[in-house]
Amino acid sequence: MKRICWHISLISLLILLGSGCASYNYRYRQSTYDTRVEQGTVLKSIQLPAEIEDKILALDPENIDEAGVREILARGPAPRIINIRGGVYPVYLAMESFSTFLIEMGYPESKIRNPADGSYSYSPYTNSAKIAGIIAWYYEKEGMKVMLVGHSGGGIQTVKVLHELAGTFEGKIRVWNPLTDEEEDRYSIIDPLAGVERPVIGVQVGYATAVGAGGLATLVPTHWSMIGRLRKIPDTVEYFTGFYTILDPIGGTFLGLVKSENTYEANGTATVRTVTLPLTYNHVSVPFTSHLASNKAIRDWINNYVPSDEPELTVEFDTSSANILWAADVWHSVKKQWCLEAQRLIRAKRSMGVGSGSTGPNVGP
């Protein structure tokens, strides 16, 4: 058994060392983000009926059912989600499956796809400073804190991006335009709510999560800078959840057997959780979750899920519920952050005396 595990680990490492790529035929429609951002620019673009604003403000971020998502949240603004996939070539399909899960659960597709090429995720080998610059661009143009979801090497990259935003590696970072996929000649943005200039360094992510980050994946040269930093979460994120599985030969530090070596901790103001997934969860396939959204009983269970650091599934369904615990925990956090960001934007808008309108804000790349 030990010999089999050793061979699996070696093969996995060799695969991790080769970056994968995927081509997409999807043609993403361009949008107009050319307006210079000043105080009130973004807030004035949010045109919602007053009754929808009231309903969003009345939501409890910790308890949102399917009707709350589809009939209320989906009619308002939504934060950008950036997925960062693992390094194995076919693993981009896992993040496509997860993205499909989010969309079928009610999240706007336009807030998940990469506007440059229509893809659902970034490579874990994408420059972390570039992703940080993209996060700042989105925040400036949309007024909502971005969410990050990382799997395997993408989980390591997710934490690295948080450190980039904290200034761990460089003292300044360029803004990066995701529409043109080009960097801009500036290191600061106009805060969309305050209307004042601020550096990219210090821009905060709303929610970030990493699953299967550690172990053999840290041996990839692009991840060496995260050795000693991976489990330390800076205050450039509000809420962070790290997932690991015991006996994970690829992403578990010391195979996930030593809890202290797989536990994430805040080194600032972030709220940080570490979740242990059951032994049956496979490192490579965890994000394959699109099947979950097609069954109403499973959707209801997921929407009613209460987060736990050691979750268990105590019910049986008449169809596959593989990876449901990871999906439910992430979806709970996504719904929560979506609600918090929408409420924050509406309150800021009202405090400026900006009136309500009749059109929705979910227009864009």
Domain segments of the chain as ranges: 55-351
Instruction: Give the Cα separation of 74 and 229 in Å (integer).
Output: 36
What H or E segment, with its residue span, contains residue 274?
strand 271-277
At 259 the pLDDT is 81
At 237 the pLDDT is 98
Level-2 CATH architecture, domain 55-351: 3-Layer(aba) Sandwich (3.40)
At 82 the pLDDT is 98
Instruction: Give the Cα separation of 74 and 68 in Å (integer).
Output: 8
At 4 the pLDDT is 32
At 194 the pLDDT is 85
Instruction: Give the Cα separation of 329 and 308 in Å (integer).
Output: 8
At 35 the pLDDT is 65
pLDDT in tens, the chain (365 residues): 333 333 333 333 333 333 333 333 434 344 446 667 776 778 888 888 999 999 999 999 999 999 999 999 999 999 999 999 997 767 789 999 999 999 999 999 999 999 988 999 999 999 999 999 999 999 999 999 999 999 999 999 999 999 999 999 999 999 999 999 999 999 999 999 888 999 999 999 999 999 999 887 787 888 889 999 999 999 999 999 999 998 788 888 776 767 878 999 999 999 999 999 999 999 999 999 999 999 999 999 999 999 999 999 999 999 999 999 999 999 999 999 999 999 999 999 988 876 655 444 443 44
What Cα–Cα distance (Å) separates residue 321 from each residue in 210, 295, 296, 363? Answer: 21, 9, 12, 33
Q: Specify the pTM.
A: 0.88
Is the CB of residue 292 less than 8 Å from the CB of residue 97?
no
Instruction: Give the Cα separation of 4 and 306 in Å (integer).
Output: 37
Instruction: Give the Cα separation of 293 and 256 in Å (integer).
Output: 29
Instruction: Give the Cα separation of 167 and 174 in Å (integer).
Output: 12
At 216 the pLDDT is 78
Supply the DSSP symbol for 188. Answer: E
Q: Which pairs from 138-142 meet CB under 8 Å and 24+ separation?
A: 138/80, 138/178, 139/189, 139/192, 139/203, 140/37, 140/175, 140/189, 140/190, 140/191, 140/192, 141/33, 141/37, 141/42, 141/192, 142/42, 142/77, 142/79, 142/80, 142/192, 142/364
Is the CB of residue 356 less than 8 Å from the CB of residue 50?
yes
Q: Per this entry, what is the length of the chain?
A: 365
Say which residue the tokens 């059912």 belong to: 65
Q: How far apart are the first and last CA of the chain?
A: 49
At 301 the pLDDT is 98
CA dihedral 269, 309, 80, 196 (to 10 degrees): -10
At 87 the pLDDT is 79
Q: Calculate helix-pair angle for 324-351, 92-104, nearest 10 degrees.
A: 60
Residue 2: partners with Cβ closer than 8 Å, 6 or more residues away: none
